[in-house]
Amino acid sequence: MRTPVTAPSQGELERQNGFMEKIAEINRKKDRKPRFFINTFGCQMNAHDSEKLDGMLRKMGYEPCADEKEADFVLYNTCCVRENAENKVYGNLGFLKHAKKENPDMKIALCGCMMQQPTVIETIRKKYRHVDIVFGTFNIYKLPELIMTNIESSSPVFDIWDNYADIVEDLPTVRKFKYKASVNIMFGCNNFCSYCIVPYVRGRERSRRPGDILSEIRALAADGVKEVMLLGQNVNSYGRGLDEDIDFAGLLRMVNEIDGIERIRFMTSHPKDLSDRLISAMAECDKVCGHIHLPFQAGSNEILKRMNRRYTKEQYLGLVDRIRTAMPDIAITTDIIVGFPGETAADVDETIDVVKKARFNGAFTFIYSKRTGTPAAEMPNMVSEQDAKANFNRLLDAVNPIVEELNQKKVGNTYKVLVDGVSSDPALVTGRTDDNTLVHFKGCRELIGDIVDVKITDSKIFYLIGELQ
């Protein structure tokens, strides 16, 4: 059932709280606490949604477990940006069918971007009948009600909305880290880049009110959070459509005033909307980190046009210049796609030219994946896998030496590092510099959550080695 929703969901949180209490009551009567396992695919937006799902499940009396085979409630929060993310979900679901035979009481739930596609829902209904609950990106707050409906009806529950109703504030959330947290500032995307499925599965752009965002961050700061990551598909258009007269630059300045917050990060910026006001705000706000993720996707103007990115290679490089002039030490990272329909080796040369001129501190590189329903899926001249791979490798050969060289330059300097966790080598801890570079150094887990001085002694392609000062 696809339910178009128009009515705002006033009081929805209280309603869901009611379901949470009822389910907690049911779970209290069981011999042991039921266990849950959440598998999150995709981006930070999904990771943050999973923190909310985790919070709700705990409130309903479930406890987390590390092995999905042991779980009574398995939840996949899915991604559909590229095909391989979807294939993984289908593969895992096959495996879960066997696990469910061993434990017939196991409940399997699916949510996230992939579920917003009607073809996926059809496939699940036909081929994956062992799935119990399916919902989408607009109604994650309804998890308690959907579990209750499934308990009462003991039949599969599908609840996918085509659009959002209201932004439901104040869901219980379990943060993965005590000292850093993600905060949604907006949802959805209006850009319709021609290769991208996101606008179809996450809906139109809508901003949260600044008051709600600021009070959430104040509460996080009071709870020991030092670093916030402001999340949105396109943060640079924050504020459009709100009654308040505010833009992203204004929001950053307000967050910068919050006591207790020491670092502010944000993701993702679209180059076409990045204003000089934002560059000034970044340069002037002492807590805003010296890093910007600024996807450019392709260097050829023809490809950019067909991608509907609405900037040229020259405009992108001009923007990089303006950012570096205002903040000479800033790290710039990016996303790049190769193999877009019709892309030639000469087009990829243009992409490599941008890489060499912009000198990125890091790049996420992707081979184009055809997404049904997007304009690019209808475009002619699909690039063969072989050509795409060859171009992809050429691109990596351009990206990696620059990343390595920029990291190498940091050797000998001392940076403030927010310690994140223990490394795979238990004698080492890991953390991030202000410009988001990963650093490993000798230290104990008591340092986790502290911001410490670390002198860089060595560099690898993707991380630095240092010594605690």
**Strand, coil or helix: 19:** helix
CB hemisphere CA count around 200 (13 angstroms): 18
- Ranges assigned E (strand) in 331-424: 331-338, 362-367, 414-422
Contact status: 298 vs ligand 5AD (CB under 6 A): no
Q: How many residues bind ligand 5AD (CB under 6 A)?
A: 12
Return the axis-axis angle of helices 248-256 and 276-284, rounded to nearest 10°.
10
Minimal distance, residue 368 CB to ligand 5AD, in Å: 5
Long-range contacts of 122-130 (CB under 8 A, 24+ apart): 123/90, 125/158, 128/90, 128/93, 128/97, 129/156, 130/93, 130/96, 130/97, 130/100
Q: Which does 233 bind (CB under 5 to 8 A by kind): ligand SF4, ligand 5AD, none?
A: ligand SF4
Cα 156 from Cα 303, distance rounded (Å): 44
Tokens of 57: 């499940």
Binding footprint of ligand SF4 on the chain (CB under 6 A): 189, 191-193, 196, 198-199, 233-234, 270
Contact status: 371 vs ligand 5AD (CB under 6 A): yes
**Strand, coil or helix: 378:** helix
Contact status: 375 vs ligand 5AD (CB under 6 A): no
Q: Which does 82 bind (CB under 5 to 8 A by kind): ligand SF4, ligand 5AD, none?
A: ligand 5AD
x/- map, 70-89, ligand 5AD, by CB under 6 A: -----------xx-------
x/- map, 317-336, ligand 5AD, by CB under 6 A: ------------------x-
Q: Which does 234 bind (CB under 5 to 8 A by kind): ligand 5AD, ligand SF4, none?
A: ligand SF4
Cα 29 from Cα 19, distance rounded (Å): 16
Long-range contacts of 170-175 (CB under 8 A, 24+ apart): 170/13, 171/13, 171/52, 171/55, 171/56, 171/140, 171/141, 172/52, 172/55, 172/56, 172/58, 172/59, 173/51, 173/52, 173/54, 173/55, 174/51, 174/54, 174/55, 174/58, 175/51, 175/225
Minimal distance, residue 189 CB to ligand SF4, in Å: 3
Minimal distance, residue 10 CB to ligand SF4, in Å: 29
Q: Which is nearer to ligand 5AD, 95 or 364 (CB)?
A: 364
Q: Which is nearer to ligand 5AD, 90 or 366 (CB)?
A: 366
Q: Which is nearer to ligand 5AD, 182 or 369 (CB)?
A: 369
Tokens of 118: 């009607």
Cα 406 from Cα 278, distance rounded (Å): 25
**Strand, coil or helix: 43:** coil
Pick from 139, 234, 297, 433 the residue near ligand 5AD by CB under 6 A: 297
Q: Which is nearer to ligand SF4, 233 or 407 (CB)?
A: 233
**Binding range to ligand 5AD, per CB under 6 A, among 200-208, 300-308, 363-371, 403-411:** 363-371
**Binding range to ligand 5AD, per CB under 6 A, among 20-28, 209-217, 364-372, 422-430:** 364-372
Q: Which does 337 bind (CB under 5 to 8 A by kind): ligand 5AD, ligand SF4, none?
A: ligand 5AD
Cα 441 from Cα 455, distance rounded (Å): 9
Q: Which does 37 bind (CB under 5 to 8 A by kind): ligand SF4, ligand 5AD, none?
A: none
φ and ψ at 49, to 5 degrees?
A: -60, -40
Question: Which positions touch ligand 5AD (CB under 6 A)?
Answer: 81-82, 195-196, 295, 297, 335, 337, 366, 368-369, 371
